[in-house]
Structure 1
Amino acid sequence: MTRLCYSTNVHPAEDLPGILRQLDGFAAPIRERTGFDRLGLGLWLAAGTAAELAADPALLRQLRGELAARGLAALTLNAFPYGGFHQPVVKHAVYRPDWTEPARARYTADCATVLAGLLPDDADSGSLSTLPLAWRRPWSAAADRAAEEALRRTEETLRTVSARAGRPIRLAVEPEPGCVLDTVADAVRWLAPRVDPEYVGLCLDTCHLAVSFADPDKAVASIERAGLAVVKIQASAALHVDDPADPAARRLLADYAEPRYLHQVRELDASGQVLAADDLPPALDGLPARGPWRVHFHVPLHAAPPGPLRSTTEVLRAAVAAVRDRTVLEVETYTWPVLPGGGTDIVAGIAAELTWAKSELLDERVNP
């Protein structure tokens, strides 16, 4: 059985009172619109809030009760953004602190403690998604060793928290274009010889997977061959354009070039080589535009972007079908506030995404 939820990193709250307001203003109304008896959340907590909750069992129990009272349940935590995810400009700051910095391991440990206290009784495990080590520059052999050691210490924390909780709490490393672990292939090569697969696996973000022009079936098979697991899937779709030289397509793409987040672009050339740009403006200025583009901009799952752009929901469908083991499917369209045009009803939009995901991706296998 796959459990469906949505990621609350779309909301800007960074303290506990703000989280309670977002539950009332967004999550509870979304549950009502979808008609789910219980709505799963991929909860995002800024570092300060995670530390506060981890240090105060009574406060943690209170939050669990607040969730239950609203028909909500924390099924997974998004432990990628450390804080400030809704600042006017985020860009590369989302990758700090990275896995060479002690603050990253502390934040992850706090999130593990919090999730163990929030999981509903019928959840047999929990998962935390995290960044793919760091942005690729600067990176060195010393940084690589430091990240490996930090992950090893985090495994020990996860063992302790899991034993206390009576069910496994696992870390899910999320490959992302431009990072040290850019692709699923990079993540498999790095993780397989270094981690205990009982406690560390992969988060398969299907937007990132699409941007890399990876084959979903082959990507999932490579994870399984390496003895690793897809710990969670982030259900997301990228922008695709067949002809990025088309003036109409370029005008539309320019509307997605907003200042808050990085929107990495990949071009597939005729030889099969994947060309890279770290954001949409440099792609529009510098990529040859002779082959199709995919853009790291999470677009709503249920609604097609304006033509000639389209979304990569076919990659999402294939990835979900390829992952055979029970997992969490987390709808992660965090870009609602920066979509072109503005004025979006986020409650209606996320409810429509969840309804689409339940119908189109999971059918009878879903259990919110």
Structure 2
Amino acid sequence: MNRLCYCTNVHPAEDLPGILDQLDSYAVGVREALGVDRLGLGLWLAAEAAAGLAADSSARTKLRSELDARGLDVLTLNAFPYGGFHAEVVKLAVYEPRWTDRRRLKYTMDCATVLTDLLPDDAPYGSISTLPLGWRSPWTDADDTACLDSLAELTRSLRGTPIRLAVEPEPGCVLDTVADAVAWLAARVDPEYVGICLDTCHLAVSFADPVGTVEAIRDAGLQVFKVQASSALHVDDPATARDALAEFAEPRYLHQVRELRPDGSVLKADDLPEALDRLPGEGPWRVHFHVPLHAAPDKPLESTNHVITEVLRAVEPDRTVEVETYTWNVLPHRQQNLVDGIAAEMAWAAGEIQ
């Protein structure tokens, strides 16, 4: 089975007719541009669409048929954004509802029902990526307990199915880094059903060692169920690159920034405008802005593609790899159309898979 796919959260539709229209407009074109008979998808379903499909088995059968007719295979679902992912301003709203809220549990269980029926027959498993519990504040011990209870209930519903939950650490959240996620999950969840979604942009922003991170996940008895192949912005000398960085400060999404200090510690800012105002800019920056895999940003900015390469060489060879550049539509000076751009990203990622 081809384990490479691209995430459809780059497209805005949140109802089934709109999703199919976008697959016709973009995914089919990507498949044709790549010259392949089948194209893998990481499907994003907003909560309302997931609930409708989960409640109607005939609708799931019809969707599977529509996907087959287009040469599209759903390998994974992205259940991080609950809805409204293409609103004018998303920012912190993307982390709601948290895993303390029963709506998050229901949404994820709905996604599991849908993915079970959409997954290709030869797929060893299907992954659902989810947020790292919620934004870091406010957060209490009672919130921890509520999350564990919900994850335990979800796990019970997944037993006997091929569906796995992949928790996706993200800067600024309760599980800010992969190390945070490993420490929180290890010995608290069933590792057969709950593991890690390793987003390589988020990993790069944390300045963590890619190979050491994969080894730490494995040593803790957890699994990487999904790699999100995504690249962050990097700049060695942010003090001399303020104008170039400012072009990426856009109003829709949160773009967390980390600055590496000489002693190895990391300074933090929750968004790029805050970083430009407050961080000293004396060490290199990594910015949570998913930039296209195949096209390096203009100097003095760089991408962190090397992190993707190192992770893909370290993880198990059958892991799902999802290209997730949801920021195509907010890139400054975008020149490439979306079909050609996604196809070029997929071709780049395919070349990195061993």
Large movers: runs of 4+ above 2 Å: none
The answer to whether the Cα contact below 8 Å between 2:7 and 2:42 also exists between their aligned partners in 1 is yes
> What residue number does 1:337 align with?
329
**Which residue type is aligned with residue 224 of structure 2?**
V
Counterpart CA distance in 1 for 2:148 and 2:278 is 35
Counterpart CA distance in 2 for 1:296 and 1:223 is 22
**Which residue type is aligned with residue 263 of structure 2?**
S
Counterpart CA distance in 2 for 1:212 and 1:204 is 12
> What residue number does 1:177 align with?
171
The answer to whether the Cα contact below 8 Å between 1:2 and 1:327 also exists between their aligned partners in 2 is no
**TM-superposition CA deviations, 1:330-366 (whole Å, max 9, x none):** 000000000002464111100000011112x11xx5x
Counterpart CA distance in 2 for 1:8 and 1:283 is 29
Counterpart CA distance in 1 for 2:37 and 2:226 is 22
**Which residue type is aligned with residue 349 of structure 2?**
A
Q: SS at the partner of 2:313?
A: helix
The answer to whether the Cα contact below 8 Å between 1:2 and 1:326 also exists between their aligned partners in 2 is no
The answer to whether the Cα contact below 8 Å between 2:13 and 2:22 also exists between their aligned partners in 1 is yes
> What residue number does 1:302 align with?
294
1:122 deviates by: 1.3
**Which residue type is aligned with residue 257 of structure 1?**
A
**Which residue type is aligned with residue 268 of structure 1?**
L
> What residue number does 1:349 align with?
341
Counterpart CA distance in 1 for 2:165 and 2:58 is 25
Identical-pair percentage: 67
> What residue number does 1:31 align with?
31
Counterpart CA distance in 2 for 1:351 and 1:291 is 35
Scaled by the length of structure 1, the TM-score of the pair is 0.95
1:2 deviates by: 6.1
> What residue number does 1:100 align with?
100
> What residue number does 1:165 align with?
none
2:298 counterpart of 1:323: no
1:37 deviates by: 1.4
Counterpart CA distance in 2 for 1:132 and 1:36 is 34
Q: SS at the partner of 2:5?
A: strand
Q: How many residues align?
A: 354
The answer to whether the Cα contact below 8 Å between 2:2 and 2:40 also exists between their aligned partners in 1 is no
> What residue number does 2:156 align with?
156
> What residue number does 1:120 align with?
120
Counterpart CA distance in 2 for 1:325 and 1:201 is 16
2:244 counterpart of 1:256: no
> What residue number does 1:203 align with?
197
The answer to whether the Cα contact below 8 Å between 1:3 and 1:329 also exists between their aligned partners in 2 is yes
> What residue number does 2:46 align with?
46
**Which residue type is aligned with residue 313 of structure 2?**
A
Q: SS at the partner of 1:245?
A: helix
Q: SS at the partner of 1:260?
A: coil
The answer to whether the Cα contact below 8 Å between 1:245 and 1:289 also exists between their aligned partners in 2 is yes
Counterpart CA distance in 1 for 2:152 and 2:335 is 45
The answer to whether the Cα contact below 8 Å between 1:67 and 1:73 also exists between their aligned partners in 2 is yes
Matches within 5 A, 1:202-241: 202-241=196-235
**Which residue type is aligned with residue 224 of structure 1?**
R
Counterpart CA distance in 1 for 2:165 and 2:105 is 11
1:189 deviates by: 0.4
1:93 deviates by: 0.3
1:278 to 245, 266, 270: 270
**TM-superposition CA deviations, 1:245-304 (whole Å, max 9, x none):** 10xx11010000000000000000111100000000000000010000000000000000
Counterpart CA distance in 2 for 1:47 and 1:40 is 22
**Which residue type is aligned with residue 70 of structure 2?**
R
**TM-superposition CA deviations, 1:181-231 (whole Å, max 9, x none):** 000100000001210011000000000000000000110000000100000
**TM-superposition CA deviations, 1:113-139 (whole Å, max 9, x none):** 000010111112100000000000110
Counterpart CA distance in 2 for 1:15 and 1:2 is 27
**TM-superposition CA deviations, 1:141-164 (whole Å, max 9, x none):** 11111111111111111115x1xx
Counterpart CA distance in 2 for 1:245 and 1:355 is 34
> What residue number does 1:136 align with?
136
Counterpart CA distance in 2 for 1:194 and 1:319 is 25
The answer to whether the Cα contact below 8 Å between 1:240 and 1:293 also exists between their aligned partners in 2 is yes
Counterpart CA distance in 1 for 2:187 and 2:139 is 19
Q: SS at the partner of 2:239?
A: coil
The answer to whether the Cα contact below 8 Å between 1:337 and 1:344 also exists between their aligned partners in 2 is no
1:324 deviates by: 2.4
Q: SS at the partner of 1:134?
A: coil
Q: SS at the partner of 1:335?
A: helix
1:194 to 167, 188, 196: 188
> What residue number does 2:146 align with?
146
**Which residue type is aligned with residue 78 of structure 1?**
N
2:90 counterpart of 1:90: yes
Q: SS at the partner of 1:123?
A: coil
Counterpart CA distance in 2 for 1:323 and 1:124 is 16
Scaled by the length of structure 2, the TM-score of the pair is 0.99
1:240 deviates by: 0.1
Q: SS at the partner of 2:280?
A: coil
